[in-house]
Structure 1
């Protein structure tokens, strides 16, 4: 079969699929598969151009074939990768000489190549032009030098890139059409203009994450209150930011407040503001978080930590939009969209009397559950690739390779600390790998032992409590005494251990003991662990 016939046979199915309703990821996968049919190589990638708010140009992989799965989680700064810069500058199909001194951005990422860096090989690529602008790149690598020698491969790549540009343009237009219901097309353009490029992305292609992203898109355009629930470290604040970025309020303020970090004496001042002289230390007028978030979004993180009296006052704001600064009789109206987050079971908190039922129902108009990392099949390597590329750039490294045993270890771990634990594990692994001796130019490979992963059984609640130091199995039994005194002594010991384990901070100690902060302070006072005056809040915080 001639080269022209091969090209035609590969292009015809793609042309036929232009009008079909394929998911973008599948459309791009077929595009790369067709490319490797026309130009047999060992690795291919489709990368999208992006520009950050500080003016840096980046390339984000949308589809790969023959590269390590973690490549999809990486973002390549063009200024750090001269081959990518050369392709973008060329504006057309370009083949690099096999003796080029330019480093290869895929060192350590070619799926079937071990060792480092990549040996002399053949590499070429082409810019995809959409509406007269550089949309992205197609790259093709072959480990055999000279595979793409001659003019024919370059001509074939150029011809293929024209259809590839039509494919990505079609995918973009289909996506816009899907968003056009109820004027979604105009809203999508609004989001594009006002959402900063630097807004963290919700990475992942698992079914659980696709469901979450659909739910976010469903509720974002409304002003409904959203309650985000999920385990520690799953990225609840990122979900809140995504909701804000996809809302009509995207060009307004996104204000967040950690309710667990608010002292009882300052809760109202932080939320509603105060005027000069409202209480001791109020030396001037101050806006509260609600005023700062006017016409925007207020994110209440760890909302389950709010005292009951504050819940009652917040309920009034949620119902009427009226706030009143401390020390001021006059009310003012605010327009704020509320998003709250918690890792607690708030329904159980309502039953236990730690949360008002009416406040809970006001917050949870549209609940969103963020899945734990162990339920996001396949996302671990994508996220690991994202964190590896960020770490590589921050440390100024030439390249990082996630070895096969490291990938297996990441997939096998249950990640009780979720995405936050994975991020810390990746940074730690890079530091451990840097301690190993390397020859000049040798690629840094991350192996399983670099991660130093703790046993997954720590996700078990009893093990977690032991790991936190709250319950010591070697603690001696209480002395022989009456039941009431024995119980009091045991309670005293648990409270002391919880406070010590959390730096004598009441909110995290109360969370560890699964109680309300105010109830813990009252218990500590009854047990003789707290001076009577220490639990009396100032009048300004009542």
Structure 2
């Protein structure tokens, strides 16, 4: 092997691990081939997904070639190269048309008398491209040893594979960045979804703003369905870590036996099925925030390891003796009374005090004064937008009924109840949601409010009668799916009179 050949092979091999862009690497490969082989022109093609051969580098050919795509069926020589795993030679007497006829830069470009050589390029059994060489000298390629041709074909294939993998990784990285940015934007937008005008919600917002800018641990407590995760997102979105990820962990859903690995990661061979190293949730959250939902469900043995991360910022992957340092802000949430859990030995006292630096209690819906109408409007707007309905709102009677419910499931229960009622109204092609659309019956409200028709103090009879008339009309409309004619039949009166009476009571919209 000549010194020149050795140097060319070394240069091509070094290119495989260089940071050069793909176009430069392709051209370096072609330049190296020109230094070794007795050719007047050469070209490197990539086989694209549509079955076309696309030139990515060329030498001795017009630059117009790089703007073309070659369909193999229209070029028999290129097709023959693709169909053979061995180098294919075309001598000067070959009657197959030359795909580069008229584009050679040689002075004898118009002459059809020249030798051609082509190699198919495979990566792990898959055809990825071809390499072509042209010489104006008849028999120029006869003296080349097959192993030399195969060596360059292998290097060309390796170059295509290397560049292809880098492009795929860059595309994957770009997609992941996009996903991360989307998640961050979603987390930021959560802040605007904390709906409510009550003093209790205003106090909650103030608490969030107070602690968000710090790195203190936050313990969020509250009943199921009050929106603890929403609070966590709001804390993160207002923090200086808002441009970093917030990693969510549902402690109640951590698989038994793998919980430690999920949180802290593992090394290859740490246990059956650990086929590779894996980062845990804390490593993924490094620089950002980790949200430990349902913290009260975390086993005691993991509580001890969690305490070490909080105290020292240090963790160990399962099966490793190395310590890793992480910088993570911890937000935890639970619907349990952790003080009682500590007393009963179900939760570590030292961990509780570490996490309880700045507790935030989310008020239940029943304590949020006047927030149900605002929440109902917001939640129904989501349904209206989803189904592209021009209008969708609650009948006043239905809203009154909602405000009287205890809502043990809080905002989540309210949302599900409203969604079911809205779907029933939509199915009936109604834009007003009446009490009969709800799982909660109208009779519940009627029984609770019959006493208002018997005033404890002196009141005008006219006003009491009008209140009763209004309730009767609402009841009739609910029984008639909002149809005025049927409601008139239900009350055995003229439709026009009923409608005018309804308009007087502001019920005709």
TM-score calculated relative to the size of structure 2: 0.49
- The higher radius of gyration belongs to 2
Higher relative contact order (CA 8 A, sep 6+): 1
